[in-house]
């Protein structure tokens, strides 16, 4: 059984939805950013000291380690993890779900962006540019895309579970 991997832009709820989905499925949940921070310290500090290139290399290694989990897990990835082609190759063997989000929702969730160094001094301008660069990659990696909307976390989890296990009655035939 493969892992379920959540990808998508910053602020799309990968960590919260991942945790709720894992609870529902009775699987462990791991978050690549949390794992990174536990091992290497806060991401903004890491960027300042080592730079983004080094961060991306370590992020890839962290993600590869998590995907190699002995138990099928729910794994939330940092928004930029899919930019590494080695990581994308590993995702081919997983069940990958993209959580999408609108600019309006992102603006509410991103705040001043201080915990996300890639957003710099103009967080929403940066968010829009980065989203435009990555959207096609997220979609190409995903087995399932959850469109942006305002539903609750539990409703999002309901939708994912229904789509992972389509009912024979054909209520949900979306792949």
Tell whether residue 43 is a contact of ligand S3P (CB under 6 A). yes
Judged by CB, which is closer to ligand S3P: 108, or 162? 108
H and E: helices and strands count for the chain: 8, 5
What's the closest the beta carbon of residue 92 comes to ligand S3P, in angstroms? 21
Judged by CB, which is closer to ligand S3P: 110, or 160? 110
Which residues, numbered 90-149, are part of the site for ligand S3P (CB under 6 A)? 116-118
Of 63-71, 77-85, 152-160, 162-170, which segment contacts ligand S3P by CB under 6 A?
77-85
CA distances 130 to 1, 39, 136, 138, 165, Å, are 32, 26, 11, 12, 32
Contact 75, 32 (CB under 8 A): yes
Judged by CB, which is closer to ligand S3P: 64, or 162? 64
Show the tokens assigned to 165: 């296990």
Q: Taking the alpha carbons of 140, 146, 147, 148 in that order, is the dihedral positive or negative?
A: negative
Judged by CB, which is closer to ligand S3P: 9, or 27? 9
- Phi/psi at 76 (nearest 5 deg)? -95, 125
- Phi/psi at 25 (nearest 5 deg)? -90, -5
What's the closest the beta carbon of residue 41 comes to ligand S3P, in angstroms? 13
What's the closest the beta carbon of residue 2 comes to ligand S3P, in angstroms? 21
Which residues make up the interface to ligand S3P (CB under 6 A)?
A: 10, 14, 33, 43, 78-80, 116-118
């Amino acid at each position: 059984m493969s892992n379920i991997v959540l990808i998508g832009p910053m602020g799309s709820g990968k960590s919260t939805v991942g945790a709720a989905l894992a609870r529902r499925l009775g699987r462990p949940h791991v978050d690549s950013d949390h794992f990174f921070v536990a091992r290497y310290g806060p991401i903004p500090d890491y960027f300042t000291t080592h730079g983004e290139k080094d961060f991306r290399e370590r992020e890839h290694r962290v993600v590869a380690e998590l995907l190699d989990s002995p138990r099928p897990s729910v794994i939330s990835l940092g928004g930029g993890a899919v930019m590494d082609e080695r990581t994308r190759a590993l995702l081919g063997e997983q069940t990958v779900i993209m959580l999408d989000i609108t600019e309006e929702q992102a603006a509410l969730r991103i705040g001043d962006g201080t915990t996300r160094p890639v957003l710099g001094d103009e967080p929403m301008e940066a968010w829009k540019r980065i989203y435009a660069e990555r959207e096609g990659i997220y979609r190409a990696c995903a087995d399932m895309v959850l469109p942006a909307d305002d539903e609750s976390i539990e409703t999002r989890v309901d939708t994912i579970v229904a789509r992972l296990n389509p009912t024979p009655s054909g209520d949900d035939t979306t792949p």
